[in-house]
Amino acid sequence: MLFINKTSVLMKARERDEKGTSSWSKNLTIQTLRCHIPRYNVRFSLSFWCPGDCGLPPKLPFASPLNQLYETNFKAGTVLKYTCHSGYRKVNSSRLTCGAYGAWIYSIFCIKKQCRNPGELTNGKVDVMTDFLFGSTIHFSCSKGYILIGSTSSQCEVQGSEVEWSDSLPECVIVKCESPPEIRNGKHGGGDEDLYTYGSSVTYSCDPNFSLIGNATLYCMVENKTLGVWRPNPPICKNIFFYAPVEIFCHQPQIPQGIFISGFKPFYTHKDSIVISCKKGYILRGSNLIHCEAHNEWYPSVPTCEPSEYGLGGIVRDFTSVCAYASGDFIFYMCEEGYYPASPDGKSSCQEDGTWKPQMPECKPVLCPKPVIENGRLAREKDHYVALENITVQCDFGYSVVGPQSITCSVNKTWQPEVPKCCEQVIIGGKLMQCLPNPEEVKMALEVYKLSLEIERLEQEKDKNIIQIQ
């Protein structure tokens, strides 16, 4: 309690005039203030209070005053009642008391409520980050070979007057694969089931007189944690007694947006093969390697190039460096045209620390070495050239290009068409003679030329002898 002994004293405040002298100019009323509590003096500040008073009570994270506070100072002995926040329960007296020395006295009287145990997740696990108390979060995951249906996490939150989990336990459903692929001249040993579950296997065998090439056993695996697929690729059955007649040939396949990596010809004979890829923005559907087989047909079937969902030749745009797969899982990835995977087989495995090895996706550019042009030069001189880059060959004065003047760096690191030569122009017998590719070919051409001259000489002697006989 503040006791005020009112004494009015007329005083004049001193003011400095313009000359720097002081004078009394204002009448002020001074009030003498005394604290009711013995041996305490008034503290000097803009607001007056005694050391026994308390200021505003502290803001508690778990409770708030039962009634609205309209004062800022409270005398010693004042008691304030509090109520617990939602998500908390009362365990002690919910009161704050103003102590004799200006401090609020209280003990923790509200604690967090606890959600019930969520239970076990069949074919999965519940990861408890901290505990089951209000505000905590738990995470759900499924065992390998199972797909999670539902929420991946749940939070202990207020529902009505109690606390409950925001999401119920999800369901872990085993991965399923469709019927195994059929193969020509062979079959698999699986039953007539429409769907196979994760871990199932089927074994292939070939018809009589056919030999199995590839892996005989396929397994139902999971990709992207959602898709059931058969791995590895199915085998093929080859006729071990088949004799391919000369007349078997296959026409060049027409693949819109496709590219022939190797084996480009106008037509193909038995056993010839082609390696196929797709242009940028398209993805290959089917086998990238096909063979010319009996009945003038390609096997496997000619693939197609379809627009890529991501526009990057098979690489997902938002792929992160942290894998969400189980340790030991692996994926295959493709690169854009003109690039090749850092991994020799385009395969990357998920490690125990959650990273991909090798780093995925990592694509390196295909580079062609700088072609050497004797007696000539390139329109653009560089140390190396990237795939699909065109350059023009220019010959020095007195030399001419033998072969195509424009060449392209192909995706298999070679120049297509073959690098031309710059040959000296020589006039022989009124005809322009250009140099041949190499000395062996020149030697052969000269031998042929000498042989033709010898034949011509013998024919002339033969004609001469016939005339003499007549």
| Residue 27, beta-bridge partner list | 12
| 384 belongs to a structural domain | yes
3-state secondary structure of 20: coil
User: Any idea which of 105-109, 352-356, 447-451 has the lowest mean pLDDT?
Assistant: 352-356
pLDDT grade for 38, boundaries at 50, 70 and 90: very low
Contact of 208 with 214, CB cutoff 8 Å: no
Percent of the chain predicted with pLDDT > 70: 71
Q: Which helix (H) or strand (E) holds 452?
A: helix 439-469
Contact of 326 with 350, CB cutoff 8 Å: yes
pLDDT higher at 19 or 308 = 308
Alpha-carbon distance 410 to 396, whole Å? 26
As given in the structure block, the two tokens for residue 332 are 């295959």
pLDDT at 95 over 80: yes
Output the pLDDT for position 320: 39
- Phi, psi angle pair for 465, to nearest 5°: -65, -40
Say if residue 71 is in the same domain as residue 157. Answer: no
Count of domains for the chain? 4
Q: What angle do CA 170, 176, 179 make, to 5 degrees?
A: 165
Per-residue model confidence as pLDDT tens digits over 168-191:
999 999 998 988 999 999 989 887
Per-residue model confidence as pLDDT tens digits over 270-298:
778 888 888 877 788 888 888 888 777 88
pLDDT higher at 431 or 348 = 348
pLDDT at 386 over 80: yes
Output the pLDDT for position 277: 85
CB burial of residue 104 (10 Å; 0-12, 13-18, 19+): middle
Say if residue 422 is in the same domain as residue 443. Answer: no
Say if residue 92 is in the same domain as residue 157. Answer: no
Say if residue 88 is in the same domain as residue 27. Answer: yes
| 31 belongs to a structural domain | yes
CB burial of residue 190 (10 Å; 0-12, 13-18, 19+): middle
Say if residue 95 is in the same domain as residue 40. Answer: yes
Output the pLDDT for position 447: 76
Say if residue 22 is in the same domain as residue 71. Answer: yes
Report CA Rg, the chain.
46
Say if residue 412 is in the same domain as residue 464. Answer: no
Say if residue 157 is in the same domain as residue 74. Answer: no
Residue where the block lists tokens 């004049």: 12
> Which of 244, 248, 251 has the alpha carbon at shortest distance from 267?
251
User: Any idea which of 55-64, 151-160, 428-437 has the lowest mean pLDDT?
Assistant: 428-437
Alpha-carbon distance 94 to 107, whole Å? 8
Per-residue model confidence as pLDDT tens digits over 126-160:
999 889 999 999 999 999 889 899 999 999 999 99
Alpha-carbon distance 340 to 314, whole Å? 12
| 239 belongs to a structural domain | no
Output the pLDDT for position 262: 78
* Domain carrying residue 417: 372-433
As given in the structure block, the two tokens for residue 148 are 């999670």
Contact of 398 with 389, CB cutoff 8 Å: no
Contact of 315 with 334, CB cutoff 8 Å: yes
| 220 belongs to a structural domain | no
Alpha-carbon distance 201 to 221, whole Å? 10
| Residue 90, beta-bridge partner list | 110
Say if residue 107 is in the same domain as residue 130. Answer: no
Say if residue 79 is in the same domain as residue 107. Answer: yes
Say if residue 142 is in the same domain as residue 75. Answer: no
Average pLDDT, the chain: 77
| Residue 174, beta-bridge partner list | 146
User: How crowded is residue 157: how many other Cβ atoms within 10 Å of its Cβ?
Assistant: 17
| 93 belongs to a structural domain | yes
| 279 belongs to a structural domain | no
pTM comes to 0.40
Alpha-carbon distance 269 to 267, whole Å? 7
> Which of 414, 418, 386, 423 has the alpha carbon at shortest distance from 404?
418
Say if residue 417 is in the same domain as residue 450. Answer: no
Output the pLDDT for position 361: 59
| 302 belongs to a structural domain | no
> Which of 239, 251, 320, 238 has the alpha carbon at shortest distance from 292?
251
**CATH code, domain with 85:** 2.10.70.10
Per-residue model confidence as pLDDT tens digits over 304-360:
888 764 333 334 333 434 444 445 566 666 777 777 777 766 667 766 555 667 665
pLDDT at 210 over 60: yes
Contact of 228 with 221, CB cutoff 8 Å: yes
| 399 belongs to a structural domain | yes
